[in-house]
Amino acid sequence: MSNIAQDRRIDYIEFPATDIARTKEFYSSVFGWTFEDWGPDYVSFHDGRLSGGFFLVKQMQGFGPLVVVYSTNIAAMEVKIVEAGGAIIKPVFSFPGGRRFHFTDPNGNALAVWTDL
């Protein structure tokens, strides 16, 4: 999605899940979402408008959705976040489709920034 119109907009959301197969069955039957497996611990979904994913956790404890923001310049966003008082909690890493990092805002909310560039 290397579209300048998407720069700095919410682009993806991730949820924790204790059972990937059951999660796929639930969201498929209730909402008609489609899925793509990325190994045993991660599945992405598409609801027809927004995409996201479910990551495997042993138990639900203090987890919540991970909002992922797209950026055309991930390095510049990392600097801006730190300068504005955010903290990088997971440095830039590669994944199938691009690169991303995780950060917390000044309130402690965790988000991520990704790019396909």
User: Which residue reads 């599945």 in tokens?
Assistant: 43
Q: Return all residues near 103 (Cβ < 8 A) that are at least 6 apart.
A: 78, 81, 86, 87, 88, 89, 90, 110, 111, 112, 113
pLDDT one-digit tens code per residue, 25-57: 988 987 899 999 999 999 999 998 889 999 998
CATH number for the domain spanning 31: value is 3.10.180.10
CA-wise closest residue to 84 among 99, 100, 104, 110: 104
The pTM of this model reads 0.71
pLDDT one-digit tens code per residue, 59-93: 877 667 889 999 999 999 999 999 988 899 999 99
Q: Which of 3-7, 19-23, 109-113 has the lowest mean pLDDT?
A: 3-7
Name the band, by pLDDT with cuts 50, 70 and 90, for residue 1.
very low
Give the chain's domain count: 1
Domain that holds residue 96: 4-115
CA-wise closest residue to 92 among 117, 59, 60: 117
